[in-house]
Structure 1
Amino acid sequence: MERRYWQMIKKAQLFFLLALVHIGISARQQPKMASQNPSPMIEHIRPHERVPDISNSGLYEEWPNILPKRVHFFLPEKMVTDSINLLIHFHGAQNVVNYTVSHNPGWMAITVNLGSGSSVYASPFSEANTLDKLIQAASKASAKPIRGIYLSGWSAGYGAIRSILRNETKHRIKGIILLDGMHAGYVPNGTPLAAGGKIDPNDLSPFLDFAKSSIEGKTQFIFTHSAVFPGTFASTTECADYLIQALGLDLRPFLTEGPLGMQQLAKASKGNLRIMAFAGNSAPDHVDHLHAMYWFLPLLK
């Protein structure tokens, strides 16, 4: 009887050890968290219309020596104004940017595409003279006085704008349009708000300062966002909420159809600041904001 008892004990110990080994192997096989959790690639709730991929009439130039990749300049045909606004756009198809300024008289555009991730945009513009080089090149190409300098960024392009707002060239910027592009890190790193994390305020402080300037009427700031949730860093929705709370604004429900079939859900505004919330957590919803740039640009007064 005693012998059988000890045999049962040994079997239980062996089973326990095997279970620990299995747990250890399973833990090692768990995949690492992705840098961004992918959003669904398709959905059929909204039409996701796109601006036509056409060649707009005007002056085209490519500048190979200012940034790590070629910069594209476009001046629409029949520009009759004595002076002109310059829109510098970061991240996104050149034809969309050219379509935007072609359908909004008084604008010319520079399109900057440097790759994936906000860091590739942030690094070159940490030096103040980078922006100055772009402005000088545009002035020379257009042969017209520049009336105002405006920045726009879609998705990762916000990285360049944040760097510009951190250096001495920020005083040259009259207005900014962020198209579903403003992100920040979580503190602790990778810990979402629902899990007890917080948004790193240092990542949003340049945008918060510019928002205050726009409320005071000194600049203009338009920020649109979808409901895409990256998971490992703060979403555009969370960044919008951060600004709204920090500035003491009221977010008002505002259900209406937007450009290209987009669906607007809410808005917050004061002075020259506008924050516009749109439905959608899929990749096409994200791209909608870029293609709707032609519609958002006239909101700059």
Structure 2
Amino acid sequence: MVTDSINLLIHFHGAQNVVNYTVSHNPGWMAITVNLGSGSSVYASPFSEANTLDKLIQAASKASAKPIRGIYLSGWSAGYGAIRSILRNETKHRIKGIILLDGMHAGYVPNGTPLAAGGKIDPNDLSPFLDFAKSSIEGKTQFIFTHSAVFPGTFASTTECADYLIQALGLDLRPFLTEGPLGMQQLAKASKGNLRIMAFAGNSAPDHVDHLHAMYWFLPLLK
């Protein structure tokens, strides 16, 4: 497929070769991979400044032989920290779509107290994602969120964060048993408009990594 413009995917956290494979198998895309270390805070801090994202977009524009028509973000695991920061500053209006690959977490209130022990999810940690989900339901943006069944224990899991969004948005989580990419087993889904939440089996580290390696399969779900 030949296009006169191209989409830019900025991916946070994960092997660059996986991201390169993804765009090479999906015509019309170019990508930048950002790896800053371990933990969401190392991604959140630099992208709290709006000009950080602008500099990345400018660098991509200079490197591309074609004009960029849309800015999309993806994050695996801790990479969600950068995306949350971006959604909290004025650059959020430049983002057309987001893919979160088993990466959305939040703190518990009181700190470190899981839901089973009477804690609650800190709503401030998820409010940027909730707002973006609403805009995707309205058709203004696109949002794909995949999650495994891994539970970290001291902070909210991706499953708990997905459940929080589903409840806050008044959606139904429907059983949907099917084989996904790389042998992944999808268990359920919730969707409305351009929002898609996909629940997968697996509570081990390899199951978590599968979400990153399956990026090539999830990217085409963006319309």
TM-score range, shorter chain: over 0.9
SS at match of 2:187: strand
Q: Distance in 2 between matches of 1:203 and 1:167?
A: 14
Residue 81 of structure 1, CA deviation: 1.9
- 2:2 is paired with a residue of what secondary structure? coil
Report Cα offsets for 1:75-95 as digits up to 9, x if no partner. Answer: xxxx84210000000000000
Q: Deviations over 1:11-66 (max 9, x none)?
A: xxxxxxxxxxxxxxxxxxxxxxxxxxxxxxxxxxxxxxxxxxxxxxxxxxxxxxxx
Deviation at 1:144, TM superposition (A): 1.6
Secondary structure (helix, strand or coil) at the match of 2:151 reads coil
> By how many angstroms is 1:99 displaced?
0.2
**Structure of greater Rg:** 1
Measure, in 2, the Cα distance between the counterparts of 1:269 and 1:217.
Answer: 12
* 1:240 CA displacement: 0.1
Moved more, 141-150 or 168-177: 141-150
Following TM superposition, by how much is the alpha carbon of 1:235 offset from its aligned partner in structure 2, in angstroms? 0.1
Q: Distance in 2 between matches of 1:169 and 1:143?
A: 24
Q: 1:277 offset after TM fit, Å? A: 0.1
Deviations 1:223-247 (A, max 9, x none): 0000000000000000000000000
Choose the corresponding residue for 1:255, options 177, 188, 193. 177
Aligned length: 223
Q: For each residue in 1:274-294, what CA deviation from the matched residue of structure 2 results, as whole angstroms up to 9, or x when unmatched?
A: 000000000000000000000
Deviations 1:144-185 (A, max 9, x none): 210100000000000000000000000000000000000000
The Cα of 1:143 is off from its aligned counterpart by: 2.9
1:194 shift after superposition: 0.3
Q: Which SS does the other structure have where 2:88 is aligned?
A: coil
Query: SS in structure 2 opposite 1:109?
Result: strand
Once the two structures are TM-superposed, the CA of residue 255 in structure 1 deviates from its matched residue by 0.5
Q: How far, CA to CA, are the matches of 1:95 and 1:140 in structure 2?
A: 22
Per-residue deviation, 1:124: 0.4
Give structure 1 stretches of 5+ with no counterpart: 1-78
Give, in whole Å, the separation in 2 of the partners of 1:192 and 1:245.
Answer: 18
Q: CA RMSD in A?
A: 0.7
Name the CA distance, whole Å, in 2 between partners of 1:229 and 1:162. Answer: 20
Whole-Å Cα distance in 1 between the matches of residues 189 and 59 of structure 2?
Answer: 37
Which SS does the other structure have where 2:104 is aligned? coil
Aligned-residue sequence identity (percent) comes to 100
Distance 1:150 1:184 in 2: 22
The offset of 1:222, in angstroms, is 0.1
TM-score, length basis structure 2: 0.99
Counterpart of 2:51 (choices 129, 138, 141) is 129
Matched, 1:275 2:197: yes
Residues 182-237 of structure 1 show CA distances to partners (whole Å, capped at 9, x for unaligned) of 00000000000000000000000000000000000000000000000000000000
Q: Which residue of 1 aligns with 2:140?
A: 218
